[in-house]
Amino acid sequence: MDLLNVPKNTKEKIIGVYKYSSCNVNSLVNALEMISVSYKLSSNFSDISNCYKIILPGVGNMKNISKENMSYMSKEVKSYILEGGFIYGICLGCQLLFESSDEAGRETLGIFKGKVEDISNNYKLKLNIGYKNLNFEEGNWQEKKILKYFKGVDLNTKFYFLHRFYCNYDDEKIHNLKINVNNKKMPVLFFKGNVLGTQFHPELSKKSGLNFLKNVSEMPL
């Protein structure tokens, strides 16, 4: 699908939070309330399809999402994006954006080109957990819209991670940020068109994470 040529977003300026199977929304909802962002929570995508932006929360296991539910989500999310909607995926929600997942052993939403792979395959690590610095020294993070999401955020701050799988993207047009893991670079932020994904949890990343989440929620497209 063409993420770079979508129509102007004319939807209601409220954040939709999609409570799909396997996700945990409590920390995210608490964070949105802390930063005074209006939101609508639903386990039915059509109930929030008129929201200006929709967040796919993190925490969970890809295996717990059935093949039927994945197919439903793929159709709904793609239709929403093509109508001008903005999607933000967090952790597992970010991994869902890619074409397939080794954790689930099947296709995922297919928004970004690439696949979700076991961290141990490339990083000699079983679990990436804790607070880590984003690498702003290289990559194509300078893309102007990415900068807007970090407005008021200390670029030396650390963001919280908790994951066993990582996103191996296969599209040079995806703007990204990485972290350093065992002397290698791991991509953890992905942005293209009206779609953003972060492997880190902004809702668990203290003040800077809340600032990032507020920017994502309120920045015009």
Annotated catalytic residue, options 103, 163, 167, 201: 201
Active site residue 175: no
CB neighbourhood size of 21 (10 A): 12
Q: How many angstroms from the chain centroid is the CA of residue 82?
A: 18
Active site residue 201: yes
Annotated catalytic residue, options 23, 91, 94, 167: 91
DSSP string, the chain: --SSS-----SEEEEEEE--TT---HHHHHHHHHTT--EEEESSHHHHTTEEEEEE---S-GGGS-HHHHHHHHHHHHHHHHTT-EEEEETHHHHHTSSEETTTTEE---SSSEEEEETHHHHS-S-EEEEEE-B-SSSSTTSHHHHHHTTT--TT-EEEEEESEEEEE--TTSEEEEEEETTEEEEEEEEETTEEEESSBGGGSHHHHHHHHHHHHHS--
Annotated catalytic residue, options 76, 103, 117, 203: 203
**Cα 98 to Cα 121: distance, rounded to the nearest angstrom:** 18
Active site residue 91: yes
Catalytic residue positions, numbered: 91, 201, 203
